[in-house]
């Protein structure tokens, strides 16, 4: 029973946030910061599976986010909005409630499949070389989209807000906030279940000694496939949510800069710590907003922070520990591992 306290508390927080938004007690600025926080939590937690738990160095997370963003946007635009290139909406607006989750799902699946571009080379390649492959994957995605006229190429793609508007017209609730928060909970939930199972522990086994893992009967290729596809699939979910929050996407917003940002969150939080990734993503988003007055200088301060972090606390804020390792009392309310 006590173990449920955490879960109940979490959902209470979600309901409270939604209520605050609903009664306009949160202005639009705070609302959007909270939604970006949620997206960042998904990104950081999913990248942590590869960079933290598996000990690889993926620096192309933005690419998978991009795939998810574009594919799910394409789906909702096809279904619910009028587009010069793609024609009239295929479905009546009442179906937006089912349409959006389906579009997000398809976007995630597409991103997971895109993850194969990195997963398959990872069977033979490790370390620096694989890092270069992930970088290349990021570039491939961006360049491909830049060259696709039917999604606007470098000018970007829009029309996703029609779906959100459809939902709000039916039932007046802050739908995107709800979807982002649920997506975040779903991500943490699925990752935690995976890494705490004996199956999922094959991933850190690969990180700590790949040869021993393979010889002790861990199918390392299979595990890599799962880790990369799960990670990129969840990045795709983040991308889909991001696209529908903004209502507009362009390829540049998923370039290497974005991937770096996610990496900073992972290293800030600690490799192989889910609660670390979540805390880091939230603090990072807040920090970015707080430093907004610095304008472009922000990009001097944040890398500097990274340098200091690597100098003095290379394992990140939490290392590979979870919240419950610092506050054992929490274990009563929730099993973090």
Partner 1 sequence: MSLLEINGLTRRFGGLIAVNDFNIELGEHEVVALIGPNGAGKTTVFNLISGFYQPSEGSIRFKGKDTRGLRPHQVTALGVARTFQGIRLWSEMDVLDNIRIAQHYRLGYSLLDCFLRTKNYMTREKEIDRIAWELLEAMDLKEFAHELPRNLPYGVQRRVEIARAMSVQPALLLLDEPAAGLNSADVEELIKLVRWIHERFNVTIWMIEHQMTVVMSLCSRIKVVDFGTTIADGTPEEIQSNPTVIKAYLGDDTI
Question: Which residues make up the interface to partner 1 (CB under 8 A)?
Answer: 190, 193-194, 197-202, 204-205, 208-209, 211-221, 226, 320
Q: Which is nearer to partner 1, 231 or 285 (CB)?
A: 231
CA–CA distance, 33 with 135 (Å, rounded to integer): 28
Q: Which is nearer to partner 1, 174 or 236 (CB)?
A: 236
Q: Which is nearer to partner 1, 63 or 200 (CB)?
A: 200
Least separation in angstroms between residue 229's CB and partner 1 is 10
Angle at 67 between CA 64 and CA 73, to 5 degrees: 140
Least separation in angstroms between residue 302's CB and partner 1 is 29
Q: Cβ neighbours of residue 293 under 8 Å, at least 6 residues apart? A: none
Tokens linked to 317: 């804020």
Q: Which is nearer to partner 1, 189 or 297 (CB)?
A: 189
Least separation in angstroms between residue 261's CB and partner 1 is 27
Q: Which is nearer to partner 1, 253 or 275 (CB)?
A: 275
Least separation in angstroms between residue 223's CB and partner 1 is 9
CB 74 within 8 A of CB 156: no
Q: Which is nearer to partner 1, 202 or 276 (CB)?
A: 202
Report which of 124, 121, 143 is spatially closest to residue 133, judged by C-alpha positions.
Answer: 121
Residue with tokens 């200091």: 308
- Considering only CA atoms, give the Rg of the chain: 20
274-290 helix and 28-48 helix, angle to the nearest 10 degrees: 140
Report which of 75, 39, 48 is spatially closest to residue 183, judged by C-alpha positions.
Answer: 39
Q: Which is nearer to partner 1, 75 or 205 (CB)?
A: 205
Q: Cβ neighbours of residue 318 under 8 Å, at least 6 residues apart? A: 269, 270, 273, 275, 276, 279, 326
CA–CA distance, 41 with 279 (Å, rounded to integer): 8
Q: Which is nearer to partner 1, 118 or 218 (CB)?
A: 218
Least separation in angstroms between residue 194's CB and partner 1 is 6
Least separation in angstroms between residue 267's CB and partner 1 is 17
Residue 110 half-sphere exposure toward CB, CA atoms < 13 A: 24
Least separation in angstroms between residue 139's CB and partner 1 is 30
CA–CA distance, 169 with 300 (Å, rounded to integer): 43
Least separation in angstroms between residue 234's CB and partner 1 is 12
Element containing residue 249 per DSSP (H, E) = strand 248-249
| Cα 48 to the center of its chain, rounded Å | 10
């Amino acid at each position: 029973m006590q173990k449920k306290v955490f879960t109940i508390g979490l959902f209470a927080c979600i309901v409270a946030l939604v209520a605050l938004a609903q009664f306009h007690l949160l202005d639009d600025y705070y609302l959007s910061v909270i939604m970006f926080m949620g997206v960042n939590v998904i990104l950081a937690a999913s990248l942590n599976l590869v960079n933290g738990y598996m000990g690889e160095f993926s620096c192309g997370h933005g690419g998978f986010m991009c795939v998810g963003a574009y594919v799910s946007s394409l789906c909702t635009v096809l279904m619910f909005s009028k587009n010069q290139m793609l024609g009239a909406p295929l479905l009546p607006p009442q179906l937006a409630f089912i349409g959006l989750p389906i579009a997000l799902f398809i976007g995630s699946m597409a991103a997971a499949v895109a993850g194969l571009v990195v997963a398959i080379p990872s069977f033979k390649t490790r370390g620096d070389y694989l890092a270069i492959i992930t970088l290349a994957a990021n570039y491939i995605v961006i360049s491909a989209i830049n060259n696709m006229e039917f999604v606007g190429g470098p000018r970007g793609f829009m029309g996703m807000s029609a779906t959100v508007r459809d939902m709000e017209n039916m039932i007046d609730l802050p739908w995107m906030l709800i979807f982002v928060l649920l997506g975040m909970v779903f991500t943490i939930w699925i990752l935690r279940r995976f890494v705490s199972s004996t199956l999922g522990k094959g991933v850190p086994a690969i990180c700590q000694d790949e040869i021993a893992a393979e010889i002790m009967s861990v199918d390392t290729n299979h595990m890599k496939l799962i880790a990369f596809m799960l990670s990129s699939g969840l990045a795709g979910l983040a991308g889909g949510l991001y696209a529908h929050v903004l209502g507009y996407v362009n390829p540049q917003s998923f370039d290497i800069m974005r991937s770096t940002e996610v990496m900073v969150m992972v290293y800030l939080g600690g490799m192989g710590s889910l609660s670390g990734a979540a805390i880091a993503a939230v603090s990072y988003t807040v920090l970015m907003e707080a430093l907004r007055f610095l304008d472009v200088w922000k990009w001097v301060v944040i890398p500097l922070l990274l340098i200091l972090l690597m100098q003095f606390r290379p394992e990140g804020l939490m290392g590979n520990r979870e919240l419950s390792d610092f506050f054992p009392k929490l274990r009563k309310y929730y099993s973090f591992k």
